[in-house]
Every structure is written in structure tokens, then in C-alpha cells.
């Protein structure tokens, strides 16, 4: 059904874009989502958003970068601490401030 496909597209895009927020990633880590194999498979499934026909809808490109990073256990562990999340947030801020164009 077209309406269901449209709704799924919107929900997946919204969730994907939430991944651009380091503090949201920290929240997911704190809630143990990154220990759930089904959730990790979902993150892997979302890789299709990197294809140009889907990526053009992504407003926050850091979401795609963090989606890639979340495929690695080391990053999932890294983002679980407030100190590391603050550092990542700071780096993201400076990227937006100085390196955008």
C-alpha cells in the first residue's frame, strides 16, 4: 500500500536523522539498544539511505556518517560515556561552524 510505504519512508528518515545527534546516540547506548542484535540489524538495514536516490532526502549528513560508525562496536562503546559524547558534540559543532562550505 502506498500510504504505508510513505509512512515507513518518513519514519525511517526521521529516525536516521536523529542519529546525527551525539546525545541521542548516547541515549541509545545508555538504554542498551546497542546490545540488542535486532537493533544492530536494523542499523545495518538503514545503510540503504547512503544510496543517492535516498541520500538526497537526508538533511543532516552527519546521520549517514554516524550510521557507518555505529556498525563498529568500538564506536558504540565510545559514545556510551558523557565525556566522549561531549567531545564528539564539540567536534561536530566546530565542523558546522568552520568547515561547512
Write down all domains in the chain, each with its CATH number in brackets. 2-98 (1.10.10.1340)
| For residue 100, pLDDT beyond 90 | no
Cα–Cα distance, 43 to 31 (Å, whole number)? 16
Residue 67 contacts residue 19 (beta carbons within 8 Å): yes
Cα–Cα distance, 60 to 17 (Å, whole number)? 6
Residue 36 contacts residue 87 (beta carbons within 8 Å): no
Average pLDDT over residues 9-33: 97
Question: Is 12 buried (19+), middle (13-18) or exposed (0-12) by CB count in 10 A?
Answer: middle
Strands (E) across the chain are located at none
Give residue-wise pLDDT tens across range 58-91.
999 899 999 999 999 999 999 999 998 988 888 7
More confident call, 61 vs 93? 61
Give residue-wise pLDDT tens across range 27-46.
999 999 999 999 999 999 99
Residue 17 contacts residue 64 (beta carbons within 8 Å): no
Amino acid at each position: 500500500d502506498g500510504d504505508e510505504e510513505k509512512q515507513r519512508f518518513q519514519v525511517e528518515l526521521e529516525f536516521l536523522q536523529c542519529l546525527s545527534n551525539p546525545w541521542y546516540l548516547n541515549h541509545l547506548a545508555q538504554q542498551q539498544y546497542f546490545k540488542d542484535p535486532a537493533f544492530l540489524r536494523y542499523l545495518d538495514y538503514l545503510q540503504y539511505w547512503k544510496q543517492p536516490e535516498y541520500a538526497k532526502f537526508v538533511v543532516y549528513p552527519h546521520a549517514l556518517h554516524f550510521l557507518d560508525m555505529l556498525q563498529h562496536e568500538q564506536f558504540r562503546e565510545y559514545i556510551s560515556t558523557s565525556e566522549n559524547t561531549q567531545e564528539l558534540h564539540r567536534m561536530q559543532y566546530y565542523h558546522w561552524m568552520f568547515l561547512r562550505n
